[in-house]
């Protein structure tokens, strides 16, 4: 089995002069879940090469056993340094797609035509899609075959307004994930701030925050295994 992981290439936190990017735990925890399940991984980003790491995600308070393992893993760091360009990949070559979060995706991946096409094609061809934390926000322009918002009527979660307020970036981000999913007609729900919370609706899996990244990957592994074994979609 083969899973595509899509990371951000955006490193500027609005007009603050501070850096952003992807959140390390949201890559590291799923990375080892996938590897331990025998899944082949390909990392991609809009610009290719090394995607920017949100420096806050590498601060001691936000490090985990998995982030430390990832940063000491030469193979993992090499894969991160050589992500392929998003416009060079095809959903046909993968069994599932996974999007880690961090604030970066709100600026670039959410508006990226290749990402939007990848999301739509993945689900329309019966393959699972999982997104965690801020990454559910990249669904904002994706639509169903009839042109309606992809998330309309679907059970979804993502980084909450109160979590965004907790990191004091409510006025910095281009949009709030919770508000956007609700605006699009998603059946949005959430757990307690900073606690794991994962939802699945058909082939779509969403996780609320960094703590949800490992459980989101577990849910994707279970679903993609069933899908591949069945040779078709898993509703």
Tokens of 66: 């998995």
d(CA 159, CA 211): 11
State the burial class of residue 118 (Cβ atoms within 10 Å of its Cβ: 0-12, 13-18, 19+).
Answer: buried
Question: What's the whole-model pTM score?
Answer: 0.96
Q: Which domains does the chain have, with CATH numbers?
A: 2-230 (3.40.50.880)
- 8 A C-beta contact, residue 146 and residue 120: no
Render 117-157 in DSSP notation, one character per residue. HHHHHHHHTT--EEEETTGGGGGTT-B-TTSSBTTTTSEE-
DSSP state of 231: T
Tokens of 131: 């997104």
**pLDDT tens digits in sequence order for the chain, 235 residues long:** 999 999 999 999 999 999 999 999 999 999 999 999 999 999 999 999 999 999 999 999 999 999 999 999 999 999 999 999 999 999 999 999 999 999 999 999 999 999 999 999 999 999 999 999 999 999 999 999 999 999 999 999 999 999 999 999 999 999 999 999 999 999 999 999 999 999 999 999 999 999 999 999 999 999 999 988 887 544 4
Tokens of 157: 């979660």
């Amino acid at each position: 089995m083969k899973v595509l992981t899509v990371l951000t290439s955006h490193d500027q936190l609005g007009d603050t002069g501070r850096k952003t990017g992807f959140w390390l735990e949201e890559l590291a925890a799923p990375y080892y879940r996938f590897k331990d399940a025998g899944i082949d991984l390909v990392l991609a980003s809009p610009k290719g090469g090394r995607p920017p790491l949100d420096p806050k995600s590498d601060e001691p308070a936000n490090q985990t056993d998995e982030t430390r393992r990832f940063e000491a893993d030469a193979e993992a760091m090499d894969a991160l340094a050589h992500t392929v360009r998003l416009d060079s990949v095809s959903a046909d070559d993968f069994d599932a797609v996974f999007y880690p979060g961090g604030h970066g995706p709100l600026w670039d991946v959410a508006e990226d035509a290749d990402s939007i096409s990848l999301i739509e094609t993945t689900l329309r061809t019966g393959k699972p899609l999982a997104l965690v934390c801020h990454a559910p926000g990249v669904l904002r322009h994706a639509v169903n075959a009839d042109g309606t918002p992809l998330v309309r009527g679907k059970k979804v979660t993502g980084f909450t307004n109160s979590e965004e307020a907790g990191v004091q970036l409510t006025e910095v981000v281009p949009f709030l994930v919770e508000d956007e999913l609700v605006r699009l007609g998603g059946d949005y729900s959430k757990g307690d701030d900073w606690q794991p919370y994962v939802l699945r609706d058909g082939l779509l899996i969403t996780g609320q925050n960094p703590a949800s990244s490992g459980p989101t990957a577990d849910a994707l592994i279970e679903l993609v295994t069933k899908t591949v074994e069945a040779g078709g979609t898993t509703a």
